[in-house]
Every structure is written in structure tokens, then in C-alpha cells.
Amino acid sequence: NWTYGGTGTNDLHVTSGSLSYTGLATSVGNSVTNGGAGLGVRRLFGTSVSNGVIYFSALFRINDLGYGAWDGLSAYAGALCAPDNVSFKLGVMVKSNSPSGYVCGVQKSGTGATTTFGTTEYHAGDTVLLVGKYDFTLSPDTVSLWLNPDSSLFGATSGPTNGFISVNTGTDASAIDRFNIRQN
């Protein structure tokens, strides 16, 4: 269920081994790397979600901050997307925070969208556990992002009530059916 979109070179590479995070079960399989200028990669769910709450989790690492190639402005790293392939309904954002670091944030897309950034600075080589939540049950829909949540919260029957950043500005999703790994 992986598909590609956009133009340019397919610079996604499957790499032996996986990222790890203390408190998570050992990952199986491989990880992927990309050079940042190629196609977008999408994991299709096989069905659309249009109500309730949907979560994703991913281990994320920037190996090179790309000075000279990345201008350091806010950019998508990944997103839960609508079936139209262009509406990033829960976007994981990154932006430069210093000459050697970056911060992560969350954003909905559409008219009036704003981004909320966390305050923790990460550096090249840091592995960050991202846990995203799109909540259709609130009005307006709300998106939340946990960055390196405490492992004591793993496996709970309900989501944590604090320790996340969130935003509800932007256009609500009618459906979500994919996760997009952004490569720009």
C-alpha cells in the first residue's frame, strides 16, 4: 500500500535496520532515508476514516540539517492526508531553531491554518518519537502531537491528557486515508 506522488527523482531508499526508542518494543524490518528533493511517499490505509479518533506513530530522525539546501523555514515532514493527496490534515512540521537545531510542530491545512511548535530543540542524529492524533469528535476538529512521550504512557487504554501540542485552526477533514512522508 505504498505509492509515490509528485515530480522528481525517487530518492527514497530502504535501509537495513530500524530506529529505536527506549520503552518501545524492538522494531522489526527496515527504515527509509531520502535526500529531501524527490517524490512524496504515501502509505494508503485501504479505507477512509471520517469519524472518531485516528492516531499514528513514527520514529523520526534528521541525519543532516541540510544547510545550503534547506532554508530552515517551516516544512512538512509527514502528514495524515485526505484522499485528494494535497490536504495534509495533520501535518508534522519542522523548522530551524538555531544553527544546529530544529523544533517540531503540528498543523492542519486549509484556510486559517496555524502551526503550533514545541519548545524542545532537536539536533541532527536525534531520534524523535512522534505520536499524532486527529480528533473528528471535537468541533472544530483538533490535531495533537506528542514528541518523545514518556514510556510509562505506552499501552494505556486512553490517550494522555497533557504533554502534547495541538491546534484546531484550518479546514476540518471530511476523510483521511493515508500517511504521507514528505520529501521537500
Q: How confident is the model at residue 6 (pLDDT cuts 50, 70, 90)?
A: confident
H/E element holding 142?
A: strand 142-147
pLDDT digits (tens, 9 = 90+) for 116-174: 999 999 999 999 999 999 999 999 999 999 999 988 888 888 878 888 999 999 999 99
Identify the DSSP state of 169.
Answer: -
For the chain, the distance separating the N- and C-terminal CA atoms, rounded to the nearest angstrom, is 21
Beta bridge partners of 67: 70
Q: What is the pLDDT of residue 7?
A: 78
In the chain, the percentage of residues whose pLDDT exceeds 90 is 53
Q: What is the pLDDT of residue 72?
A: 82
Residue matched to cell numbers 519542522: 94
Residue matched to cell numbers 541540510: 66
The DSSP-derived string for 79-132 is EEE-TTSS-EEEEEEEEEEETTEEEEEEE--STT--EEE-S--EETT-EEEEEE
- Alpha-carbon span 68 to 72, nearest angstrom: 9
Q: What is the pLDDT of residue 121?
A: 97
pLDDT digits (tens, 9 = 90+) for 79-100: 999 998 889 999 999 999 888 8
Nearest to 120 by CA among 160, 148, 153: 148
